[in-house]
């Protein structure tokens, strides 16, 4: 072939840019079809920031009160394959 050769590094860059452009396009289409006219805004309050407006209603997010606590982590066992032991 008489044309210039494209090495793997250039293909990597080209593929990365194409994938990034596709993902950005999909994100824009998703946002446009979301159907939310008011994206909301964060307002500073005495206890921090609060989201005002937006498409999320208080009933959309449920927080369970009967959540069991996570079990305590078990201590790691000594590994005989490590080169340095305490």
By the 8 A CB rule, do 47 and 66 touch?
no
**Count of structural domains within the chain:** 1
Distance CA 69, CA 64 (A): 12
Asked, for residue 33, whether it belongs to a domain, the answer is yes
Asked, for residue 76, whether it belongs to a domain, the answer is no
Distance CA 55, CA 35 (A): 9
Please list the residues that pair with 44 across neighbouring strands.
Answer: 49
Asked, for residue 63, whether it belongs to a domain, the answer is no
Residue 51 — φ and ψ, nearest 5°? Answer: -80, 120
pLDDT in tens, the chain (86 residues): 455 666 778 888 999 999 999 999 999 998 888 777 787 889 999 989 988 888 877 777 777 777 788 888 887 776 656 666 55
């Amino acid at each position: 072939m008489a044309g210039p050769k494209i090495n793997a590094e250039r293909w990597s860059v080209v593929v990365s840019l194409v994938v990034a452009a596709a993902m950005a396009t999909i994100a824009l289409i998703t946002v446009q079809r979301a159907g939310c006219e008011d994206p909301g805004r964060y307002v500073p309050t005495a206890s921090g920031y609060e989201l005002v407006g937006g498409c999320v209603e208080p009933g959309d997010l449920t927080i369970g009160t009967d959540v069991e606590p996570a079990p305590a982590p078990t201590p790691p066992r000594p590994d005989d394959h490590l080169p340095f032991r305490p």
